[in-house]
């Protein structure tokens, strides 16, 4: 019995050493750097870099934009994927379409960003088509869809990448949770297709996929290449802002980059723990 416990603790220790320890060391080092206590040119304990980050509007605008972009991307992709799965749940399981769905997932983010740029920029394909159809009289009439302050281009790129992923996820959940059978049951009890979708299928799909959706949300918030190419210069998404502070021109800005990194991590970790714990409680209370 003791041997089992020993083995359990050893594997837990190994797990922590591989996951938590590097992160803890990283955060510890970032904290020291942001307070002038480590790194080349460290000036000694100071809070001025934290003050600069917290009091300047730049970081908060950047966090707000990252949150908005992730929310819109996941929201849109989720709705599209739900609609596709509800419309024809079996079609995504087998056959050519199920394979085709994997194609966007194989594209690197940078390539997707470039495709979106080529499609939606002022002189892009959509704008050219609009011009040929007589809808616009030139580039100046075409709306600002890339490098705009709302992040429309960024959202488009993420929706393009996330939708097939969610379709695959929902379609598999549909099968593993036997939602088809529940839908039939609901129908025999007199529910319309709309009612069974709203009351049965969608809630189960969303609840079961919630942790994945939260993780994808965090992934979008922290994405770099797509906002680098398709974003605006102000505000910038958090990762782009951090890299700018870390790498561009002024070495004295580096501690600020570390402060932003720590702050961002704290926000994301707190949000993730809150959301996932809430979800776990809800799931266990309903089961």
Partner 1 sequence: MQRFLLLAHLFLTACNNPQPSHEADPTRLPWEQVIEQAKGSTVQLMMWQGDPLINAYMQQYVAPAVKQQFSITLEIASGQGNTIVQTLMTEMEAGKSVGELDLMWINGETFYQLRQIDALFGPWTERLPNAQFIDFQNPFINTDFQQPVNGYECPWGNVQMTLIYNSEFVKDPPRTRAQLADFVKAHPGKFTFDTQFTGLTFLKSLLIDIAGGGNALDGPFDEAKYGQYSAQLWDYLRDIQPYLWKQGKTFPDSRSPMHQLFSNGELWFTLTNNDNEVDSKVGQGLFPPTARAYVPDFGSIQNSHYMGIPKLSGNKAGAMIVANFLLSPEAQWEKQKQEAWGDGTVLDPSKLPGDWKQRFENLAARKYAPSRAEMQSRALKEPAPEYMIRLAKDFREQIIER
Among 11, 195, 234, 283, binds partner 1 (CB under 8 A): 234
Among 25, 47, 79, 88, binds partner 1 (CB under 8 A): 25
- Residue 110 binds partner 1, judged by CB under 8 A: no
- Residue 124 binds partner 1, judged by CB under 8 A: yes
Nearest to 178 by CA among 195, 200, 199, 163: 200
What DSSP state is assigned to residue 66?
Answer: H
Residues 162-181 interacting with partner 1 (rule: CB under 8 A): none
Task: From 43-51, 89-97, 115-123, 161-169, give the range in contact with partner 1 by CB under 8 A.
Answer: 115-123
Q: Is the Cβ of residue 186 or residue 241 nearer to partner 1 in the bound state?
A: 241
The torsion angles phi and psi of 110, rounded to 5 degrees, stand at -60, -40
- Residue 247 binds partner 1, judged by CB under 8 A: yes
- Residue 148 binds partner 1, judged by CB under 8 A: yes
Q: Is the Cβ of residue 149 or residue 192 nearer to partner 1 in the bound state?
A: 149
- Burial class, 76, CB count within 10 angstroms (exposed 0-12 / middle 13-18 / buried 19+): middle
Residues 79, 83, 85: CA angle, nearest 5 degrees: 115
The torsion angles phi and psi of 190, rounded to 5 degrees, stand at 100, 10
Nearest to 77 by CA among 164, 194, 206, 199: 164
Cβ of 134: how many Cβ atoms within 10 Å?
A: 7
Among 87, 248, 277, 282, binds partner 1 (CB under 8 A): 248
Task: From 23-31, 171-179, 192-200, 202-210, give the range in contact with partner 1 by CB under 8 A.
Answer: 23-31
Tokens of 149: 């302050």
Residues 74, 108, 145: CA angle, nearest 5 degrees: 55
CA 70 to chain centre: 5
Among 13, 22, 26, 28, binds partner 1 (CB under 8 A): 28
Q: Is the Cβ of residue 150 or residue 267 nearer to partner 1 in the bound state?
A: 150
d(CA 266, CA 54): 14
- Residue 157 binds partner 1, judged by CB under 8 A: no
Residues 36-75 interacting with partner 1 (rule: CB under 8 A): 38-41, 58
Among 139, 193, 270, 273, binds partner 1 (CB under 8 A): 139
Q: Is the Cβ of residue 188 or residue 233 nearer to partner 1 in the bound state?
A: 233
| C-beta of residue 74 within 8 angstroms of C-beta of residue 213 | yes
The residues that touch partner 1, with contacts defined as CB under 8 A, are 25, 28-29, 32, 38-41, 58, 117, 121-124, 139-140, 144, 147-149, 228-229, 232-234, 246-251
């Amino acid at each position: 019995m003791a041997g089992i416990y020993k083995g359990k603790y050893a594997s837990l220790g190994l797990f922590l050493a591989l996951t938590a320890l590097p992160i803890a060391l990283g955060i510890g080092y970032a904290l020291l750097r942001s307070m002038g206590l480590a790194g080349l040119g460290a000036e000694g304990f100071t809070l001025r870099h934290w003050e600069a980050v917290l009091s300047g509007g730049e970081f908060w605008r950047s966090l707000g934009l990252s949150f908005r972009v992730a929310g819109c991307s996941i929201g849109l992709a989720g709705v599209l994927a739900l609609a596709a799965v509800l419309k024809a749940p079996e079609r995504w399981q087998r056959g050519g379409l199920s394979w085709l769905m994997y194609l966007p997932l194989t594209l690197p983010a940078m390539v997707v960003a470039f495709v979106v740029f080529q499609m939606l920029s002022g002189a892009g394909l959509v704008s050219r088509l609009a011009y040929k159809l007589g809808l616009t009289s030139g580039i100046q009439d075409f709306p600002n869809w890339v490098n705009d302050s709302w992040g429309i281009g960024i959202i488009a790129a993420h929706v393009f990448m996330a939708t097939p992923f969610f379709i695959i996820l929902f379609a598999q959940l549909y099968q593993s949770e036997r939602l088809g059978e529940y839908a039939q049951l609901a129908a025999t009890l007199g529910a319309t297709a709309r009612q069974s979708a709203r009351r049965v299928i969608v809630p189960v799909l969303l609840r079961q996929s919630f942790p994945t959706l939260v993780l994808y949300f965090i992934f979008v918030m922290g994405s770099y290449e797509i906002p680098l190419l398709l974003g605006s210069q102000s505000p910038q998404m958090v990762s782009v802002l951090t890299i700018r502070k870390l790498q561009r021109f002024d070495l004295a800005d580096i501690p600020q980059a570390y402060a932003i990194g720590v702050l961002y991590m704290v926000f994301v970790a707190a949000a993730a723990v809150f959301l996932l714990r809430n979800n776990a409680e809800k799931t266990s209370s309903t089961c």
